[in-house]
Amino acid sequence: MRQLALWRPGSTRVLPGFGLSMGISVLFISLVLLLPITGLFGQLAGLSLAEYWAIITEGRVVASYMVTIGAAAVAALVNGVFGLLLAWVLVRYEFPGKRLLDALMDLPFALPTAVAGITLATLYASNGWMGSILEPLGFQVAYTWVGIALAMAFTSIPFVVRTVQPVLEDLPAEVDEAAMSLGATDGVAFRRVIMPHLWPALVTGTGLAFVRSLGEFGAIIFIAGNMPYETEITALMIFVKLQEYDYAAASAIASVVLFVSLALLLAINIWQGRFVRRLHGGKG
């Protein structure tokens, strides 16, 4: 304890429970999170660098990165716009059914992904409720990358809504009053006055949605069609390697997803931290 306190001279640790909470946290993170991850790296250790590189850059796998990243990006962008709209409507307006709409936002988190996958595939197949309307119009959703993006967007929409919503709620009314009194139109005022406050939350939410989409399997697999080079996602490639008893290759591809996701999450956390600090600094 004393030794730990020395790491940060100047900060006096007034509150109790440092040792206990540190103990529980470190023990838990080590046992539940880090120890199993070592299994993954144990598998990787069996590969030479060249083999590792060959596995993760194989044509079909690279194509699956493209599909996954492309669809996740589209899903995240769509969610950025849609999520912003929903957050805005939920915070700024009163209307019948608002509480219901608010509760509905968490549905994708609460609904098991396999259920979501089966349901979306049923809805958007050419004989489903949505598919039978869209397909005659020339939009094929199921079994194309649009379907993948749709499933990703469905499972990750709450991230955007739930990160933007609180920030919007905390925004003091004076902010838009000032803009409006200067005679700016709604559009200009929103862009110039509101958006600068929302950016960090919006980027964070969209980023989390993107990361979530990269790893999603259950919801997508039913609607993807899984055609090589066209609609195969990276999670499926891992699954395929598992079927072939090729744990090393499965671990190699999984490690790529893991590193990319962790790097993005770390970036988001650092960015968020910076933003919080700036905010607090600004307010004094």
Q: Considering only residues 192 through 211, tell me which ones interact with another protein, judged by CB under 8 A.
A: 193-194, 208, 211
Of residues 43-82, which lie at the interface with another protein (CB under 8 A)? Answer: 43, 55, 58-60, 82
Q: Do the Cβ atoms of 210 and 264 come closer than 8 Å?
A: yes
- 76, 159 contact by CB (below 8 A): no
- The one among 50, 93, 281, 282 contacting another protein by CB under 8 A: 93
Taking the complex as a whole, the smallest distance from the CB of residue 136 to another protein amounts, in Å, to 14
Could you tell me if 263 and 241 are in contact, meaning their C-beta atoms sit under 8 angstroms apart? Answer: no
117, 218 contact by CB (below 8 A): yes
Choosing from 111, 197, 203, 275, the residue that interacts with another protein (CB under 8 A) is 111
Cβ 237 to another protein, closest distance in Å?
9
The pair phi, psi for residue 226, each rounded to 5°, is 55, 40
Site for another protein in 228-267 (CB under 8 A): 228-229, 235-236, 238-247, 249-251, 254, 257-258, 261-262, 265-266
Least distance to another protein, CB of residue 22, Å:
6
Is the C-alpha dihedral spanning 114, 156, 217, 247 positive or negative? negative
Neighbours of 43 (CB within 10 A): 18
**182: contact with another protein by CB under 8 A:** no
Q: Which of 192, 206, 194 is nearest to 163 (CA)?
A: 206
* Interface with another protein (CB under 8 A), residue from 53, 57, 70, 104: 104
Decide: 223 and 142 in contact? Cβ < 8 Å.
Answer: yes
* Single residue of 49, 50, 110, 137 touching another protein by CB under 8 A: 110
- Interface pick for another protein out of 164, 189, 198, 209 (rule CB under 8 A): 189
